[in-house]
Amino acid sequence: MTLPTAFRPLSALIAGAVLAVAQPAGAQLFWQPADLSTPPVTGAEPTSGINLPGATPAELRAGLLWHLRASLNVAALQCDFEPTLLTVSNYNAMLAHHDAELGNAFKVLGDYFKRTHGAGPGQKQFDQYGTRTYSSYSTVQAQTSFCQVAGKIGREAIFAPRGSLYIVAQNRLGELRNSLVAQVERVYGNPGYGFVASVPPLDKKCWKKGVLVAKCAATWEKTRGQ
């Protein structure tokens, strides 16, 4: 079965080598990351965002995989501002490592929409479902928390044994949903921001035997930090 474009790598270089070598420690974007973890989800929970009314357990599992793939695809597109998160290479490696399981999920979901809406309308509904799924993981205000969580989940996904990616989805999709809420108060700051270099006056009249005279020193002190 030919997979849709969304399943294909973002670059021509499939990061297959990632599967054979150890990963570096994950990037840390927070002083103290919030605990965003949740119990495993089945996909039937309203908060999971899967939204497949009347779905069988197998169809819900396919929905979980679809959401995991979509969320990591969004992360690959939105999170490359921090290359150490490896969101692009992890996404590509996940597609290569779990292609069979993802392909089966695609088929099961397609059959679900055909079953519930009919063959023609079902395909349209499936396309719209895919668009809504992608949109649900696109974030601006919570980009940092989403990207950090997605980076960790991406590494877990590529090391999951073939056929078990759905377990990663069950265990981590709730956390991904929680990461879409901004955690800006915990983000690392740049210690260089907010500081202005302040140089004392260099006029000869302000110096006497290598010492800044009092009048010039007082003027300099008033202007420091402005």
Over the stretch 182-205, which tens digit does the pLDDT of each residue have? 665 454 444 344 445 567 777 878
Sequence-ordered list of residues with C-beta below 8 angstroms from that of 219, at least 6 positions apart, any chain = 201
**Per residue in 90-128, is it b (16+ CB within 10 Å) or e — as a string?**
bbbbbbebbeebbebbbebbbebbbeeeeeeebeebbee
Taking the domains of the chain in order of start, what are their residue ranges?
5-186, 196-226
Averaging pLDDT over each range in 17-26, 119-128, 189-198, which range is the top one?
Answer: 119-128
207's enclosing H/E stretch is: strand 207-208
pLDDT band at 17 (very low <50, low <70, confident <90, very high): very low
The pTM of the full predicted model, rounded to 2 decimals, is 0.69
- Cβ–Cβ under 8 Å, residues 140 and 25: no
Dihedrals φ, ψ of 187, to 5°?
-70, 145
How far is 203 from 194, CA to CA, in rounded Å?
Answer: 27
Q: Are 138 and 78 in contact (CB under 8 A)?
A: yes
Rounded to whole angstroms, the Cα distance separating 174 from 168 reads 11
Distance from C-alpha of 218 to C-alpha of 174, rounded to nearest angstrom: 58
pLDDT in tens, 58-93: 999 999 999 999 999 999 999 988 888 899 999 999
Q: Would you put residue 190 in left (φ > 0), alpha (ψ -120 to 50) or beta?
A: beta
User: How high does pLDDT run on average in the chain?
Assistant: 80
Q: Are 102 and 65 in contact (CB under 8 A)?
A: yes
Look at residue 90 in the predicted model and tell me its pLDDT: 95
Express as a percent the part of the chain with pLDDT over 70.
76
Residues in CB range of 180: below 8 A, 6 or more apart:
137, 139, 142, 145, 146
Q: What is the pLDDT of residues 133-168, one digit of tens each?
A: 999 998 877 888 899 899 999 999 999 999 999 999
| DSSP designation for 206 | G
